[in-house]
Chain A
Amino acid sequence: MLNKFNSIILRDMRVILNSNSRIFMPIVYLFLIITFFSISLEGTVLGGYDKILTQIIWLSCLLVSLLNIEIMFKDDYEDGTLDRIVINSDMLEICILAKVLSHWLFSILPLVIIAFLINFLLTGNLSVSITLFISLMIGSLTISLIGSIASSLTLSLKGNGLLLSTIVLPLDIPVLIFGTSAIYNSSIGLNYDSELLFMLLLLILFLVIAPFAASFGVKNSLD
């Protein structure tokens, strides 16, 4: 079973490497959203815009990761490789986990690293940037897992973007609340362990639920 897990991740890495735009588009979006926020909010925030900059970067990452959740299973569904994954795996859940992990590794992780760098360059505050990095690592993986459920359920529908966001957004709110409040606590020098622990708890919860729910969704979409 592990060789199938590895072969899916290796294949998805090659797909990303062979199509450069896939890896750069989310990063360009991230830059755009942060720039637009900065232009529209500069001078309007009491106490200086840099007070909320880290939260804005967190929110921008969330928005960009929502944009590309749709493609998690879509390409495999359309070219027929998903059929083979479903037929030839004795535990589909493991393969679904591989798909989520490869999506996170190749579409989301570069964003998290770039977000850390942008925050450090703009604020110069290393400890807050590290909190941003850790909370984004945990938060974005949770969001990918939640996204896999929604993406599998809406796989066979045309124009599924709206429905997908409607399913995903309410589930993402707890992650957003704990993520941004960890950053706020870190920026005013308070302890933020409990927020990160809550985020870890959410991650573990969805790590258990999502592979089963998403494999059910994928099987239903192929029927």
Chain B
Amino acid sequence: MNTPLISLKNVSLTKQDKDIIKNYSVDISESEIINFYGENGCGKTSLLKLVTKLSKPTEGEILFRPDLDISDDIFYVGHKYGLKNELTVLQNLEYAVSFSNTEKINSVISELESYAMQSLSNLQVKYLSHGQKKVISMIQLTISYFKVWILDEPFTGLDQDKASILFEKMQNHINDNGTVIITSHSPKNKFKNIELC
């Protein structure tokens, strides 16, 4: 059997005496799209932060497969879009490429075209709508190759067309030996759904 890519063993997270995650174990394997779903406040974002090592578990441990290097292989998009408002779309995406050690796989323009957003390339991000900002932050995933995508509610705020393009890109990514971990409020078709609470 394959070793899991990321493995959470009896992980607990307590903040200000409140148990956010309690004794939770899960294995995440290669080429899977995992959807952690549950109601508000059940610890979905906290779980993603644990996997990205942004926060440390109070108890338990998180094991990564030895060939996985967090700083090179993981890309995380949280509730904040990770874009600079003062920079143009193009400048933001150029920065995203220059900040990664991984190889560039797609050109910025072709990725913008795939979402039909090439006309926005020279616009400052502060003039974009929330949905457009979300799309730009998702485009960062596909210009450089990151093995593991960790996305906090990626489909919230996207229209149906953009959501289906993103879903298609996730499918292509897992065919390319990638792994996608997302959170949402409900189970989704074709995803491996795990209920959190």
Interface mask (A102-132 → B, CB under 8 Å = 1, otherwise 0) = 0000000000000000000000000000000
- Among A11, A78, A88, the residue within 8 A (CB) of B87 is A11
Chain A hits for B71, CB < 8 A: 87-90
Interface mask (B47-90 → A, CB under 8 Å = 1, otherwise 0) = 00000111110000000000001111011101111111111100
The answer to whether A11 and B54 touch (CB under 8 A), given A87-B70, A88-B100, A89-B71, is: no
Could you tell me if B98 and A79 are in contact, using CB atoms closer than 8 angstroms? no
Say how far A128's CB is from chain B's closest CB, in angstroms: 38
Chain B hits for A84, CB < 8 A: 75-76, 82, 99
By DSSP majority rule, is chain B's interface helix, strand, loop, or mixed? Answer: loop
By DSSP majority rule, is chain A's interface helix, strand, loop, or mixed? Answer: helix
Chain A hits for B55, CB < 8 A: 222-223
Task: Decide if B132 is an interface residue (CB 8 Å cutoff).
Answer: no
Task: Decide if B124 is an interface residue (CB 8 Å cutoff).
Answer: yes
The answer to whether A79 and B81 touch (CB under 8 A), given A7-B95, A18-B124, A222-B54, is: yes
Could you tell me if B52 and A3 are in contact, using CB atoms closer than 8 angstroms? no
CB proximity to B under 8 Å, residues A4-23:
4, 6-8, 10-11, 14-15, 18-19
Task: Decide if B142 is an interface residue (CB 8 Å cutoff).
Answer: no
CA distance A90 to B71 in the complex (A): 6
CA distance A81 to B137 in the complex (A): 11
Chain A hits for B99, CB < 8 A: 4, 7-8, 84-85, 88
Total B residues in contact with A, Cβ cutoff 8 Å: 30
Could you tell me if A11 and B95 are in contact, using CB atoms closer than 8 angstroms? yes
Task: Decide if B121 is an interface residue (CB 8 Å cutoff).
Answer: no
CA distance A3 to B98 in the complex (A): 7
Could you tell me if A11 and B84 are in contact, using CB atoms closer than 8 angstroms? yes
- Among A8, A14, A19, the residue within 8 A (CB) of B91 is A14
Could you tell me if B85 and A86 are in contact, using CB atoms closer than 8 angstroms? no
Closest chain B residue to A12, Cβ basis? B84
Task: Decide if A80 is an interface residue (CB 8 Å cutoff).
Answer: yes
Task: Decide if A42 is an interface residue (CB 8 Å cutoff).
Answer: no
CA distance A81 to B85 in the complex (A): 11
Interface mask (A68-85 → B, CB under 8 Å = 1, otherwise 0) = 000000010011110111
Closest chain A residue to B80, Cβ basis? A80
Chain A hits for B86, CB < 8 A: 14-15, 18-19
CA distance A11 to B86 in the complex (A): 10
The answer to whether A81 and B82 touch (CB under 8 A), given A7-B98, A88-B72, is: yes
A-side residues, CB < 8 A to B, are: 3-4, 6-8, 10-11, 14-15, 18-19, 75, 78-81, 83-90, 222-223
Nearest 3 CB-CB pairings of A with B = A80-B80, A7-B98, A80-B82
B-side residues, CB < 8 A to A, are: 52-56, 69-72, 74-76, 78-88, 91, 95, 98-101, 124
A to B CB contacts below 8 Å, 21 in the list: A4-B99, A7-B98, A8-B99, A10-B95, A11-B91, A11-B95, A14-B86, A14-B91, A15-B84, A15-B87, A18-B86, A79-B80, A80-B81, A81-B83, A83-B54, A83-B78, A87-B54, A87-B70, A87-B74, A88-B99, A89-B71
